[in-house]
Amino acid sequence: MTAKEMARLKVAEKLVEGKVTIKDAAEVLGLSTRQVIRIKKGVRLNGPAAIVHGNRGKVANNAVEGKLKKLVVNLKTDKYPGTNFSHFTELLEEKEGMVLSRPTVHRILREAGIVSPKKKKKVRAHFYRKRKDCPGMMAQLDASSYRWLGGEKLTLHGAIDDASSNTLGLYLCKEETLEGYFEVARQMIKGPGIPVSTYSDKHTIFFSPKKGKLTIEDQLEGKSEPYTQFSQAMRELGVGMILAGSAQAKGRIERLWGTLQDRLVQEFILNGIKDVESANNFMKKYMARFNRRFSVIPKGEPVFRKLRKGANIDHILCRKISRKLDGGSAFSYGRKYYQLISGGKPAATIPRSKVSVLTSSRIGIKASYSGKVYSLARLEERPKIKRDIKIKKENKRMLPKKPAADHPWKGGNSHGFNYDPRDEELATGLFNSTIAWETDDY
């Protein structure tokens, strides 16, 4: 009998003897008068045994058997050693067909002296930013460098919806790159659709280092802030880009990395995934299961947009660099020469006009000219431009002519002219005398 039960027994005995009123007993024990009356009746009929709960010492109907406990401990230590307790509970149901509550599994493992591998960090107080009401109003973008496949560090790019916490895209590659974010954006657009805005850090993939640094003189000259390749693609899709001032500001995707580092690594191990390509293929299916587990119900309806009809996502999510065409519909790029091709022959273009060169791992290299995307032909050398000069009759006199053989400049005497040095002396004397007369003072 516990100390609490002994105190109740003593008060109950006083009640039976009539030395304490029911109201006073209820106040002392912190019970209702109805409960006090029940205890008094039980002690009077059954003695001190009435104070002890009737199920004490009995095995509960829903108690876990010893063999089942041992099986759970063995599975945790042998088959699922790196999983946290919650993830392990889900795997027991999915892989082993054992339906146990999370508190039950926690209790079994703690009694066996097993500690969860997930570290508990001190929570720092930060201002909580309210979720967006509708899915698609804001998509948070970020990347996490971690040993996702157990070896060297790789970078996982991702996007998460701010309203529902649905993971919109995941892509693994060696480093944080523009190509990685383009692949995440591709998954997002082909899945739920185009969001209204994105929320990301100050990485130069998203924002130019010169953003917000234009002087008044630059603004008066009409200069605009430069776009990055990613922001240019988002501008073409009509997506606004919002800058996050700190990691805590985009806390939803930061928490996503903590969850994935704990769970996704174990999923890779359990499914025998050891290379990046297999990991990317696996994550496309894993995201649906992950979202069912961790997404929340938003307040409003989705506001994702679909890609406009006729638009090619591969021609939007790519690098775009401006070049100028020469007279042969060709341009230089990367120390090589390319020519625009239409219908198997060079395209008709205007010389010195601008062309946008599109490059990515999906499309290779193409060029956009006058709103149309062209295939390109590689040239071995710079093309030579042939120009046909047509001379009009009225312009023939402007062309240089070769003097005739009997022209005076040739030094001939066909016109009866003979050179005499004395004539030159006479002309010089007359000229000097004229200058002297004009400058004489009267």
Q: From CA 328, how far away is CA 381, in angstroms rounded? A: 12
pLDDT tens-digit profile of 376-419?
999 887 766 655 445 455 555 555 677 777 777 766 554 444 54
Q: What SS3 state is found at 341?
A: strand
* Arithmetic mean of pLDDT, 113-138: 78
Residues in the chain: 442
- Locate 248 and state its tokens: 């805590």
pLDDT tens-digit profile of 333-363?
988 999 999 888 888 888 889 999 999 999 9
- Residue pair 326/190 in contact by the 8 Å Cβ criterion: no
What pLDDT was estimated at residue 129? 77
The pairing of strands 139-146 and 197-200 is: parallel
Is residue 219 scored above 70 in pLDDT?
A: no
* Arithmetic mean of pLDDT, 254-277: 94
C-alpha distances (whole Å) from 152 to each of 172, 263, 267 are 13, 18, 18
What pLDDT was estimated at residue 66? 77
Least confident of 69-78, 318-327, 359-368, 394-403: 394-403
- φ/ψ of 379, rounded to 5, equals -105, 140
Task: Report CA dihedral (169, 170, 176, 179) to the nearest 10 degrees.
Answer: -60
Q: What SS3 state is found at 432?
A: helix
Across-strand partners of 156?
144, 172
Least confident of 113-117, 252-256, 402-406: 402-406
Is residue 442 scored above 80 in pLDDT?
A: no
Which one is predicted more confidently, 266 or 418? 266
Q: Which of 394, 388, 336, 401 is nearest to 367 (CA)?
A: 336
Q: From CA 103, how far away is CA 107, in angstroms rounded? A: 6
Give me the percent of the chain exceeding a pLDDT of 70. Answer: 79
Least confident of 115-119, 178-182, 369-373: 115-119
CB atoms within 10 A of CB 156: 25
pTM, two decimals, is 0.66
Is residue 429 scored above 80 in pLDDT?
A: no
- Locate 154 and state its tokens: 């790789």
Least confident of 45-54, 91-100, 142-151, 225-234: 45-54
Q: From CA 351, how far away is CA 323, in angstroms rounded? A: 12
25 — pLDDT class (breaks 50, 70, 90): confident
pLDDT tens-digit profile of 305-314?
999 988 999 9
What pLDDT was estimated at residue 437? 46
Q: From CA 226, how far away is CA 332, in angstroms rounded? A: 23
* Arithmetic mean of pLDDT, 35-62: 72
In a 10 Å sphere around its CB, with 0-12 CB exposed, 13-18 middle and 19+ buried, how is residue 45 labelled? exposed
Mean pLDDT of the chain: 83
DSSP state, residue 194: B
What pLDDT was estimated at residue 213? 63
Which residue is associated with the tokens 């601008």? 354
CA angle 292/299/129 to nearest 5° reads 90
Taking the mean position of all CA atoms in its chain, how far away is CA 300? 24
What pLDDT was estimated at residue 121? 62
Q: Which of 366, 318, 374 is nearest to 349 (CA)?
A: 374
Buried b (16+ CB within 10 A) or exposed e, 417-426: eeeeeeeeee
CB atoms within 10 A of CB 179: 17
